[in-house]
Amino acid sequence: MLFTSDIDDLISDDSLVSTLCMLVDTPSPTGEEAALAEKIVDRLESYGVTSHIQALDEQQANAFGEIKSDGGKNLLLYAPIDTVTSNSEDEDLPWLGPELRPDMRAQAYVDNEHVFGLGAHNPKGHAACVIEAARVLSQLSTMFKGNVFFGFGAGGMPTHSRAGFPDNTGHGVGCAQLISEFPEIDGAIIAKSGSSVTWEEVGFVWLEVTVAGKHNYVGARHLMPYDNAIANAAKLILKLEDWFEDYAVRHATELCRPQGTVSHMESGWKRMPAFTPECARFLIDLRFTPQQSAEDVETEFAAVLKRFSDELNISTRYTKTQTINASHTSPEDPIIRATISVWESLFDGPHQTFKLMSGATDANILRAHGIPTARIGLAKADLPDLDFALGMNCVSIRELRRLTTFLILSTLHYLGEANHG
């Protein structure tokens, strides 16, 4: 029987940091994960974990490993491996910022007990913890009865395909294919941001809104009917931004507060500022909870879009471009009970649930395939001036060790052979 102190002795900070630096130093933007998947397999094999590549196409691949024994339950420890930005100035700038800071590049560095670099926290810090857990569990394989699978999926980011890439990238495509390699999975733990256990998360609907106007010329603005589609869209967007806040409050659940945002806009000819366009288009990501349906969300949005359009006396229409359904695992499921029990043991107190979830992950894909899934991950680094990008690209070594300990103890507890102290 193992105690937390026994696990601490088996986890190596040097191994964790080395693994994470390898992950960061191997660029893996969505659609280009194959090179990293191969390195993950090599690392797992060096730890004595039977591992495989699962190719999606020439540039996309998953990696997975397995520790098998006779009988018992099947547990999956999972992390995606693609980064939301590309490590390319041409592709990422200026929308990511005026320049690629050091933490935004696929080049890891260690400073003051933190690891920095593209995806060092999310998703690669989480993948590093799963790999280190595999290393330790391979040494403890005689101490549990059951099978442990380690999955590393391509296409985990909520994104359509990048320019020049096939359509089958992003939105959990790797996770969905990876599941086909395994026998029936009894429970899964997905390692993604958030330092408490959660058992449900939001889905999302992506919508493209088109706002009408009149094609015109600045020299004829005072002579011809003038109706600027860009100005119309701006007025509508301001109304929607206020509505998103109200929507989130009205649909909040115990764990989730579903958000919405306008994230992209296009209109007109960049080469001809003298001419107004006939239309403007913008994109919306609207999140929803497991207590809502995608159909209900679309109906609600259609009604509010009509109301705002009538108030502004503008013509609009919308199309739906993507839907990922929200998901829920019963808090009474053994995987949730086991992970909460481990959390309470490690933190020496009642589990503290994070109640403002609005992030969507491959947990939705796992649950859609009938796999009860717990989510837990790394806490954000406690650094001054922490913006979203730095939060994704920096992780404390102490947090890496904590999550690795959690994954190991949760595996042992779920498979029925652990005692925590």
Same domain, 81 and 211: no
Q: Are strands 187-191 and 373-376 parallel, antiparallel or unpaired?
A: parallel
- d(C-alpha 134, C-alpha 270), whole Å: 52
Judgement on whether residues 186 and 225 belong to the same structural domain of the protein: no
Q: Do 241 and 147 fall into the same domain?
A: no
Cα angle 228, 234, 236 (rounded to 5 degrees) comes to 105
Same domain, 259 and 392: no
Does one domain contain both 188 and 214?
Answer: no
In a domain, 237, yes or no: yes
Look-up of token digits 């109301």: 307
What tens digit of pLDDT does each residue of 271-286 get?
999 999 999 999 999 9
Domain boundary among 265, 300, 324: 324
Is 180 part of a structural domain of the chain?
Answer: yes
What is the average pLDDT value for the chain, to the nearest integer?
95
User: Among residues 324, 353, 380, which one ends one of the domains?
Assistant: 324
Question: For position 127, which CATH number holds?
Answer: 3.40.630.10
Q: How many structural domains is the chain composed of?
A: 2
Q: Which residues pair with 201 in a beta bridge?
A: 327
Backbone φ and ψ for 415, nearest 5 degrees, come out as -85, 0
Say if residue 421's pLDDT is above 60: no
Burial of 337 (0-12, 13-18, 19+ CB in 10 A): middle
Same-domain check for residues 44 and 113: yes
Split at pLDDT 50, 70, 90, the class of 207 is very high
Residues 111 and 254 grouped into a single domain: no
pLDDT at 3: 61
For residue 69, what pLDDT band results from cuts at 50, 70 and 90?
Answer: confident
The answer to whether residue 420 sits within a structural domain is no
Q: What's the confidence (pLDDT) of residue 45?
A: 98
Same domain, 254 and 282: yes
CATH code of the domain containing 228: 3.30.70.360
pLDDT at 339: 98
Listed residue (110, 356, 397, 360) closest to 252, CA to CA: 356
- Does the residue 108 lie in any domain? yes
pLDDT band at 348 (very low <50, low <70, confident <90, very high): very high
Q: In terms of domains, do 231 and 373 share one?
A: no
Do both 41 and 189 map to the same domain?
A: yes
Q: Are residues 281 and 216 in the same domain?
A: yes
Residue 270 lies in a domain: yes
Last residue of a domain, one of 324, 339, 373: 324
* pLDDT single digits (tens) 131-174: 999 999 999 988 888 999 999 999 999 999 998 898 889 999 99
Residue 421 lies in a domain: no
CA distance 176 to 57: 14
Which domain covers residue 148, as residue numbers?
4-201+327-414
3-state secondary structure the chain: CCCHHHHHHHCCHHHHHHHHHHHHHCCCECCCCHHHHHHHHHHHHHCCCEEEEEECCCCCEEEEEEECCCCCEEEEEEEECCECCCCCHHHHCCCCCCCCCHHHCCCCEEECCEEECCCCCCCHHHHHHHHHHHHHHHHCHHHCCEEEEEEEECCCCCCCCCCCCCCCCCCCHHHHHHHHHCCCCCEEEEECCCCCCECEECEEEEEEEEEECCCEEHHHCCCCCCCCHHHHHHHHHHHHHHHHHHHHHHCCCCCECCCEEEEEEEECCCCCCCEECCEEEEEEEEEECCCCCHHHHHHHHHHHHHHHHHHHCCCEEEEEEEEECCEECCCCCHHHHHHHHHHHHHHCCCCCCCCCECCCCCHHHHHHCCCCEEEECCCCCCCCCCCHHHHHHEEEHHHHHHHHHHHHHHHHHHCCCCCCC
Both 257 and 166 in one domain: the answer is: no
Structure confidence by residue, pLDDT tens digits, 176-206: 999 998 889 999 999 999 999 999 999 999 9
Q: Looking at the domain assignment, is residue 261 inside a domain?
A: yes
